[in-house]
Amino acid sequence: MKIYTKGGDKGLTSLLGGRRVPKSNLRIEAYGTVDELNAHIGLLRDQVISKPIQGYLLKIQESLFVLGSLLACETDPEKFSLSNIQDADVISLEEEIDRMNNELPALQHFILPGGHPTVSQCHVARCVCRRAERHIVLLNEIEAVDKVIIRYLNRLSDYLFILARKIGQDLGAIEKKWSSGK
């Protein structure tokens, strides 16, 4: 299999199902941003973090690959035997958030991203996740997107925020309190 097909040389690409669309199409932007998020989570997974967190991040990456495939398919996903994102995936994120949050001090103020490169990588992934969510919400205004996809990304950004705090705590990083400067 060749990695290049030259099919996109004129700025078009194919959706799952065969329809050719401009690479600037909102659907392409949405699943492209999910792909970018997946790469950032891969970079985060490659950091020196606990094996359980690495394992859960791998599970998230696999879910994001499914999510991207669903977004690339403008027809019935069952026609292509695609996996799906389920409410159980959202619940799993919520359980992980609650588990980590129970080990953290209560958040009394806004905090600035940073304190350690791994913590910062969590925040970068969180921001890309929010961007993917915005693209998908916009796409949903034009054509229907399964609501569980939006819920999953919304919860994933929450997970990445709490993960940043948890990794920071594990690494002894100091959370920098945001001050309005007043």
Is 85 part of any domain?
yes
Phi then psi for residue 112, to 5 deg, are -90, 140
Judge whether 148 lies within some domain: yes
pLDDT in tens, 116-159: 999 999 999 999 999 999 999 999 999 989 999 999 999 999 99
State how many domains the chain has: 1
- With a CB cutoff of 8 Å and minimum separation 6, the contacts of 98 are none
Under 8 Å CB-to-CB from 65, ≥6 apart: which residues? Answer: 38
Q: Is the dihedral of CA 82, 86, 88, 94 positive or negative?
A: positive
Residue 113's nearest CA partner among 178, 32, 48 is 178
Is residue 108, in this structure, part of any structural domain at all? no
CA-closest candidate to residue 70, choices 59, 58, 80, 57: 80
The Cα 36–Cα 125 span in angstroms is: 9
* Residues 139, 83: Cα–Cα separation, whole Å: 21
pTM, rounded to two decimals: 0.90
CATH of the domain at 145: 1.20.1200.10
The reply to whether 69 falls in a domain is yes
State the residue range of the domain holding 66: 18-97+119-171
**What pLDDT, on a 0 to 100 scale, did the predictor assign at position 40?**
98
DSSP class per residue in 76-121? -GGGGT-----HHHHHHHHHHHHHHHTTSPPP-S-EES-SSHHHHH
Residue 106 lies in a domain: no
Say if residues 116 and 171 touch (Cβ distance below 8 Å). yes
Give 178 or 164, the one with higher predicted confidence: 164
Q: Identify whether the C-beta of residue 101 lies closer than 8 Å to the C-beta of residue 155.
A: no
Per-residue pLDDT tens over the stretch 66-117: 999 888 887 665 555 557 889 999 999 999 999 999 999 998 889 999 999 9
Q: 7 in a domain, yes or no?
A: no
| Beta-ladder partners of 22 | 12
